[in-house]
């Protein structure tokens, strides 16, 4: 057993000064069969610690489920960290931001509309207490004083940027201690005086988050944490991307200089990110500071280890810096990335959404359109259907769109209403009558700021010609398991379409000599989501900047593999793969 504590000047491991050299790696963004490889590469770069958030909503998709299996096996992940001889920092939130949908908070928590967010509110704290008790069997025995890797646990996350409720933080500390956590507790905030003061309480060790001007920002941190070690527990070595914006990068030279300044000052560090991974499925978050901006599928983050787990120029530059502060050997260092295989295929089975609705869910009757949350749906798509009959020109009006609505009348496309354009109204054909379909996409829940916990779907009243539309049939599309869609496609007639006309599901097959990482080329497709061998890859969108989807080798096999896409608009019929990722241009 070892002893880890916060001393008057340093972190101390078994009584000796210890400089934390950590890298962020989110287990829920990486295939579990690749965890060990990524952790080993962190050690080979010179790191001694792995940091991870815990995504509450990933483990608890509903109130009566807590999943610790497969890619959510946090115990296995921490054991992999220990097996590589590394320590662990755990950040259970409950709020994590992380550019992850809803900042990690479960959507079901806010269905009633009466639960507080990130404050001293009884319903919220009771749910957190239950969540932490569910984590206890994983975390408690894996602390360093019990022979495990965990050396630090973070309370909340950049709370000073959101609130200033010390009682809330005190109660979070009590909940964490009550489940048996004995290691030191920390907080993190951006190095602004008000954030550092509002985001912590006495007894918690303050750390900072920044990505530049290390010397200046460590001085600000020292003014508010006058004793003990300094730590940048989020050293931003890259950044994230939104759909429709440019691909963000930071220069190797500047990031390396800032890291050198930080370590030379004797501070500890956690690289955010060491390896970003992927927002598989519908797990990406969003920002809304006046304009709604959903995040892309890739969480490459311009990190030292790219989305496919390959070392970048930043990896080698950081390694050269770390050599001056720790022992780094050249044995077993990662090989340069090779080009990925580029199999080809074509869609040979198609099924219009309208033709397979019965396999996707069950219709529900409602007088007025409910939110997705009131349907118990916290990601993906919901179809709203009503009958209308008007004379002359007509306008469809929706109180608020969250986040994107495909409008059709009697199966014919009419247009799109998009939250990021602040759309609320759309002209319908004159003398519109028949079946009005509104296919709503949750493009990712806001992960930062005051809109955390907001409901999705159609918000408020839907009107045509100024009159409320009543009498709705609502169908949640259950896309978490694509097996029913695969069966429906297998039962459809074989075709060789010239192109896909959405909304449509389509299937293609491709052959590999052996399993290997791939990059699915989406440049000739419109907007939708993709699955390979039943595994969700995430969203694609011609808007960019991302134009390939990462396909991890463990979901592939030698021989035939199956691709399924849900295309909302239009796409070329060819299926192609790229030799390298295409995450877009780095400037406007």
How crowded is the C-beta side of 259, counted as CA atoms within 13 Å?
Answer: 33
C-alpha closest to that of 500 among 474, 545, 470, 530 = 530
Among 99, 234, 260, 397, the active-site one is: 234
Contacts 24+ apart (CB under 8 A), 362-366: 362/475, 363/473, 363/474, 363/475, 364/473, 364/474, 364/475, 365/471, 365/472, 365/473, 365/474, 366/472, 366/473, 366/474
Distance CA 283, CA 281 (A): 6
Is 567 within 8 Å of 528 (Cβ atoms)?
A: yes
Residues 6+ apart with CB under 8 A from 301: 237, 238, 239, 240, 272, 273, 276
C-alpha closest to that of 26 among 16, 11, 39, 40 = 39
CA 289, 293, 294, 299: dihedral to nearest 10 degrees? -90
Q: To which H or E segment does residue 263 belong?
A: helix 252-264
Beta strands in 353-410 (DSSP E): 364-366, 380-389, 394-402, 404-409
CA angle 416, 422, 424 (to 5 degrees): 60
Write out the DSSP string of 305-328. B-TTS-B-HHHHHHHHHHTTTS--
Residues 6+ apart with CB under 8 A from 290: none
Distance CA 111, CA 57 (A): 14
- Say how many C-beta atoms besides its own lie within 10 A of residue 520's C-beta: 22
- Say how many C-beta atoms besides its own lie within 10 A of residue 364's C-beta: 13
C-alpha closest to that of 574 among 488, 497, 502, 486 = 497
Assess whether 234 carries a catalytic annotation: yes
C-alpha closest to that of 546 among 568, 572, 525 = 525
CA 483, 486, 491, 493: dihedral to nearest 10 degrees? 170
Distance CA 123, CA 469 (A): 35
C-alpha closest to that of 178 among 150, 139, 147 = 139
Among 51, 99, 156, 158, the active-site one is: 158
- Say how many C-beta atoms besides its own lie within 10 A of residue 9's C-beta: 12
- Say how many C-beta atoms besides its own lie within 10 A of residue 166's C-beta: 14
C-alpha closest to that of 503 among 425, 368, 420, 404 = 404
Q: Is 38 helix (H, G, I), strand (E, B) or coil?
A: helix
Determine the angle formed by the axes of helices 166-178 and 122-139, rounding to 10 degrees.
Answer: 30
Distance CA 481, CA 463 (A): 34
Assess whether 158 carries a catalytic annotation: yes
Distance of CA 60 to the CA centre of its chain: 15
Residues annotated as catalytic are 158, 234
């Amino acid at each position: 057993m070892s002893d880890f504590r916060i001393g008057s000047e340093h972190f101390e491991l078994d009584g000796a000064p210890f400089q934390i050299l950590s890298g962020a790696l989110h287990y829920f963004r990486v295939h579990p069969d690749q965890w060990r490889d990524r952790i080993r590469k962190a050690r080979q770069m010179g790191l001694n610690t792995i940091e991870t958030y815990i995504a509450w909503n990933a483990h608890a998709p509903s109130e009566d489920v807590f999943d610790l299996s497969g890619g959510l096996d946090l115990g296995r992940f921490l054991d992999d960290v220990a097996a590589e001889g590394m320590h662990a920092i755990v950040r259970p939130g409950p709020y994590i931001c992380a550019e992850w949908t809803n900042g990690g908070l479960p959507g079901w928590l806010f269905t009633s509309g009466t639960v507080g967010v990130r404050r001293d509110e009884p319903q919220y704290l009771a749910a957190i207490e239950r969540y932490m008790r569910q984590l206890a069997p994983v975390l408690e025995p894996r602390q360093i004083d019990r022979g495990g890797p965990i050396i630090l646990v973070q309370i909340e996350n950049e709370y000073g940027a959101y609130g200033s409720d010390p009682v809330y933080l005190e109660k979070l500390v009590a909940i964490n201690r009550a489940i048996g956590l004995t290691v030191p507790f920390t907080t993190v905030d951006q190095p602004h005086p008000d954030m550092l003061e509002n985001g912590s309480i006495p007894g918690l060790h303050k750390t900072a988050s920044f990505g530049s001007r290390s010397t200046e920002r460590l001085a600000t941190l020292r003014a508010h944490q006058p004793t003990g070690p300094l730590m940048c527990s989020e050293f931003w070595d890259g950044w994230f991307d939104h759909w429709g914006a440019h691909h963000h990068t930071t220069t190797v030279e500047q990031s390396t200089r800032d890291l050198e300044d930080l370590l030379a000052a004797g501070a500890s560090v956690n690289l955010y990110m060491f390896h970003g991974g992927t927002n598989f499925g519908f797990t990406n978050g969003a920002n809304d500071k006046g304009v709604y901006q959903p995040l892309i599928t890739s969480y490459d983050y311009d990190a030292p280890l790219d989305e496919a787990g390959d070392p970048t120029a930043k990896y080698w530059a950081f390694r050269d810096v770390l050599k001056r502060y720790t022992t780094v050997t050249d044995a077993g260092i990662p090989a340069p990335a090779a080009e990925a295989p580029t199999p080809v295929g074509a869609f040979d089975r198609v099924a219009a959404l309208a033709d397979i609705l019965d396999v996707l869910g069950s219709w529900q009757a409602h007088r007025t359109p409910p939110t997705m949350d009131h349907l118990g749906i916290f990601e993906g798509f919901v179809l709203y259907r009503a009958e209308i009959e008007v004379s002359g020109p007509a306008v469809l009006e929706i109180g608020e769109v969250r986040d994107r609505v495909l409008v059709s009348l009697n199966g014919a496309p009419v247009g799109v209403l998009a939250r990021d354009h602040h759309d609320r109204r759309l002209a319908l054909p004159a003398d519109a009558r028949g079946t009005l379909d509104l296919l709503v996409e949750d493009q990712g829940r806001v992960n930062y700021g005051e809109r955390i916990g907001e409901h999705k779907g159609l918000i408020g009243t839907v009107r045509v010609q100024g009159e409320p539309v009543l009498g709705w049939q609502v169908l949640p599309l259950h896309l978490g398991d694509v097996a029913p869609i695969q069966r429906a496609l297998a039962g459809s007639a074989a075709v060789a379409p010239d192109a896909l006309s959405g909304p449509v599901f389509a299937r293609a097959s491709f052959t590999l000599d052996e399993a290997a990482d791939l990059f699915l080329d989406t440049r000739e497709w419109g907007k939708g989501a993709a699955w390979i061998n039943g595994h969700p890859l995430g969203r694609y969108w011609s808007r960019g900047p991302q134009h390939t989807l990462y396909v991890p080798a463990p979901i592939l096999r030698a021989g035939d593999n199956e691709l399924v896409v849900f295309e909302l608009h239009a796409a070329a019929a060819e299926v192609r793969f790229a030799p390298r990722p295409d995450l877009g241009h780095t400037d406007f």
